[in-house]
Chain A
């Protein structure tokens, strides 16, 4: 019960902080919009396969940028203050939940904008593609939150964030791209059940490992 209370307060704190500066939201939105625009200028017309790959590449870098700051940006003093107040489990759960929320909002906005610039390919299962995008943003946020916690403990976090997270995210990305491609080709929804299951399993594993490991990570 206490844990739930702590998580609630921490998420509220994150949302208030974000709403005051709107740094991540605006920054990443601007990033997505300008990238999509640059892609439009250089591609003009794209085929199905590139459409899918391009979307996930844009989302990959957007989510790294958005989530890397979750631990890297916090000052040492504030971290100490939070650590005296709440349990480590509450902190990692709150960060992950908040990042998932942020990423889902960002991904949906990005996907809408992306499909305005580059039209959805004909015959695509749009609803299923949105499901893929939401599942993707969930997996990105669970993995990147933990990696950002690890990277923040080293001297130069920004560089390490990319090095540490890419090999971990690649398997997820491969499954996601396959799942999204199924949706884009308008295949029957039951075809993608394997991918959904695998993504769910990966997320559960990552979350449990993160929950088990974070208590060791958080204090210096």
Chain B
């Protein structure tokens, strides 16, 4: 029970936000209309992704100094789980964009940068597959992971601020804070973020444990 409480919490939070996010009242805004509910599903994906990638970098740094195989597997599997959330974030964003901007992919800076930052991590996996020797692979992949992380931060958090974008919160478009005056949305949004981050962490621990078991059988 001590070890499972956060998994139960994650499940409860995600179920709560899925139900409340779809059923509760939301502010009525032009253009956005009901699609504002996507905030509860789209934004938490990115939070979960960033948290997972941060875990990945943390274990990459650790694996450089400890040289342990477990740390390397942790780094890979959290990057893997992060990519799942990144792809989900792009898909939820694209579906939302279809109904508000008119196109799934309109080459908005925010969309492009998100796609490029995923490319960074795909390159990380290509690099891993290119090296056969395990210890060498762990070391070089860790170095690339650490080298790429600041670039991902620049791509996702700095560059979109400098460019005009249709994305809410950018280029003079109203962001989240300006229309949740009655704090109704916060009641769902914050639990959703926490819930999805916990689910992401859960996915990562499961992947890590299966990988360890697979390696033991070899």
Contact = CB atoms under 8 A, between A and B. Distances in A.
A160 B146 contact: no
Contacts of B7: none
A153 B136 contact: yes
Most buried by A among B136, B139, B144, B159: B144
A146 interface: yes
B147 A160 contact: no
Interface in A135-158: 146-147, 150, 153-156
Nearest to B159: A171
Nearest to B162: A194
B159 A155 contact: no
A209 B130 contact: no
Given A146-B147, A216-B143, A155 B131 contact: yes
A127 interface: no
Nearest to B132: A155
Interface stretch (A7-15, A99-107, A162-170): A162-170
A136 B159 CA distance: 17
Contacts of B64: 213, 216
Contacts, number: 76
Question: Chain A binding site: helix, strand, loop or mixed by DSSP?
Answer: helix
Contacts of B140: 150, 153-154, 217
A16 interface: no
B143 A213 contact: yes
A213 B147 contact: yes
A124 interface: no
Interface string B131-167: 1100010011011101110110011001100100000
B187 interface: no
Contacts of A4: none
B19 to A, nearest CB: 38
A112 interface: no
A210 interface: yes
Interface stretch (B118-126, B191-199, B210-218): B118-126
A205 B130 CA distance: 27
26 contacts: A146-B147, A150-B127, A150-B147, A153-B131, A153-B140, A154-B140, A155-B130, A155-B131, A163-B123, A163-B126, A163-B127, A164-B127, A166-B123, A167-B116, A168-B120, A168-B147, A171-B113, A171-B116, A171-B151, A174-B159, A175-B159, A178-B162, A198-B158, A209-B150, A210-B147, A217-B143
Nearest to B148: A168
A160 B130 CA distance: 8
Interface residues of B, number: 28
A29 interface: no
B143 to A, nearest CB: 5
Contacts of B150: 205-206, 209
A126 interface: no
Nearest to B153: A205
A174 B117 CA distance: 14
A171 B157 CA distance: 11
Nearest to A205: B150
A209 B162 contact: no
A166 B123 CA distance: 9
